[in-house]
Structure 1
């Protein structure tokens, strides 16, 4: 039976149900500030909104290790309000247009009011047979308003943000349905890493937190690197699984463990870092799988920052990411959490110097 704490499941629910699109990550930021505070010496942030909890080593001149998630999720922004009381919107992050018709979305106003609505679709009765795929620019969100005036009375304005309206649900012992596991996984695993290490002394200064605006082009990572100037980085992010018809190549499968991400479109895992990860998972008998991603992570910006930073992605996969619902496996989360903890406990000045090419 999968041993996962109720507290972890509660945090999963809390984090995935927060409303935080790129550039508007405040709900997750405030959650992390509150939850990390008991486990760190201080919390720091940059001018874009990324935040990090700092756990200092007692060793002088200890190297800095960055554990970086991202706070934002894919979503939308209101771009037009029609006289009929409908809302037009644009995407924030990489989304496909074919998955949103008839989906329930949640709008958040500037005053913090929330409204649920449905993306309109043409019923079968009114279809002519000539319809083609609908672009996001042509979609309308129906929040129940009868007019433009009512939208204004509801406090809705152009620029308000929209996310999928999805409740966290544990489907079976191992499988969970939620929105935004990309990348509330990283926020959760970082928080629980700090909790696990609360009473342990480290050979490194540990910086654990989350960046902003990853989903729109890895925009927040550079600012946080300039703030912290880490010697090594471990990026924690969620990637797409493609296993509905079996485990195909290096595409990621639920329940097969933490991802050893050897390649994506933004970063190639270095030879030394690759061997270090493999040696660790084999020695500690951590369930793992090799992974090649068609996307990227904040590691794409971090690894080439400053004079180059040894970087690895400690990831998990989920089905149907960048839609209104994802399904993931809690065993993969536990494998990733174990690997992350083992790495941080093992890292030292000598180990980090070896992982650099100098």
Structure 2
């Protein structure tokens, strides 16, 4: 295995952590561990979003950089007499990426390993084999023989179920494979933005935020933004990589390694023109690569943040990522590092006068 440098170890710790919506304690503790040395204050809101505050100019504008802590997963809902477990998806799943995948059920007694199963194709009719198995017909097998055995092992309704996959550096060491890039990469960006601002003068107060429950309705972004009342906000998340076979530029423009994605439009918001222009003009000036994208469906934390308080100029900056909302997703380290560099350089220039100009641009 490739020896992990400090950044890769942080990314491993973040992505290996288990935390579906409403169960973000473990990734929150990892983020807190890494971001605390660079923050003046670390708190949580009532839903559990982590808020790390770094003061440059205490009288300057408030800048929020938000990634979400939660990952897509499942929740135990029923246990049948034979010890098979029924579940609810938590966040968006495509049925074709689920079958025969290993999962971890997190219980009060410890972790329990399972696999997602269904009726075998060998006993289906030829017509049925051609159709994807519906999620409602799937179950989790933990090797138990009865409901009593499942209960004895500590599994009960409401327990979270998390995809199992270990962080992996590919042969091309720029390519990183992990579960939960959506959106521990956003949390990593928030950590590294504060890290790079350590000891730097910046004319504002910066908040690195790990929000909760993004995958079920951008909920923690709303409560954390109400707590902070930011003047400017960046939602940092994964985007769609359109550089795999069969995908046209019309369907998805993003390409891994071509820089962070500036989101023009998604189902949750229209990006703020003044902020978008400020960011891309600076990227052009500093020769930081970036690419545009527009996503007809889905949204990011920016969608909730920009509607809080009196309205917040917001922009989503994303990392082109393959195979999101599955057990294993892939992204490019250069895109991550360039996103951090761009956001840091933007923050250094966001004084009160500039923010006022952006707000009304």
Gap regions ≥5 residues in structure 1? none
How far, CA to CA, are the matches of 1:60 and 1:218 in structure 2? 28
Residue-pair matches, total: 353
Contact residue 274 and residue 360 of structure 2 kept, 8 A: no
**CA distance in structure 2 between the aligned counterparts of 1:14 and 1:91, rounded to whole angstroms:** 24
* Structure 1 residues 250-329: aligned runs within 5 Å: 250-293=252-295, 294-329=297-332
Contact 1:189 1:337 in 2 (8 A): yes
Q: How far apart, CA to CA, are the structure 2 residues paired with 1:52 and 1:255?
A: 30
Q: How far apart, in 2, do the equivalents of 1:189 and 1:251 lie?
A: 22
**What is the DSSP-based 3-state SS (H/G/I as helix, E as strand, rest coil) of the residue aligned with 1:317?**
strand
User: 2:200 aligned with 1:203, yes or no?
Assistant: no
> Which TM-score applies when normalising by structure 1?
0.95
Q: Could you list the per-position Cα deviations for residues 191-212 of structure 1 after superposition, in whole angstroms to 9, with x for gaps in the alignment? A: 1111111111221011112110
- C-alpha distance in 2, partners of 1:247/1:13? 32
Q: Which residue of 2 aligns with 1:28?
A: 27
Q: Distance in 1 between matches of 2:225 and 2:280?
A: 26
Look up the match of 1:74: 72
Aligned to 1:13: 12
Q: CA deviation at 1:52?
A: 0.9
Matched, 1:121 2:138: no
SS in 1 for 2:126: coil
Residues 267-326 of structure 1 deviation map (CA, whole Å, 9 limit, x = unaligned): 111221221121011111111111112320010111121111111112111011011111
Alpha carbons 1:264, 1:292 under 8 Å: kept:
yes
Cα 1:72–1:60 shift into 2, 3 Å? closer
Q: Are 1:248 and 2:249 matched, yes or no?
A: yes
Matching residue of 1:39: 38
TM-score normalised by structure 2 residue count: 0.94
Q: What is the Cα deviation at residue 5 of structure 1?
A: 7.8
CA contact (8 A) 2:55 2:205 kept: yes
Q: Deviations over 1:128-187 (max 9, x none)?
A: 324233222221101111111110110000010011101111112221111110100011
Decide whether the 8 Å contact of 1:89 with 1:136 is kept in 2: no
**1:247/1:253 contact within 8 Å kept:** no
Structure 2 equivalent of residue 347 of structure 1: 350
Distance in 2 between residues matched to 1:84 and 1:129, nearest whole Å: 28
Equivalent-residue separation in structure 2 for 1:170 and 1:142 (angstroms): 30
- SS of the equivalent of 1:48 reads coil
Over 6 Å off, 4+ runs? none
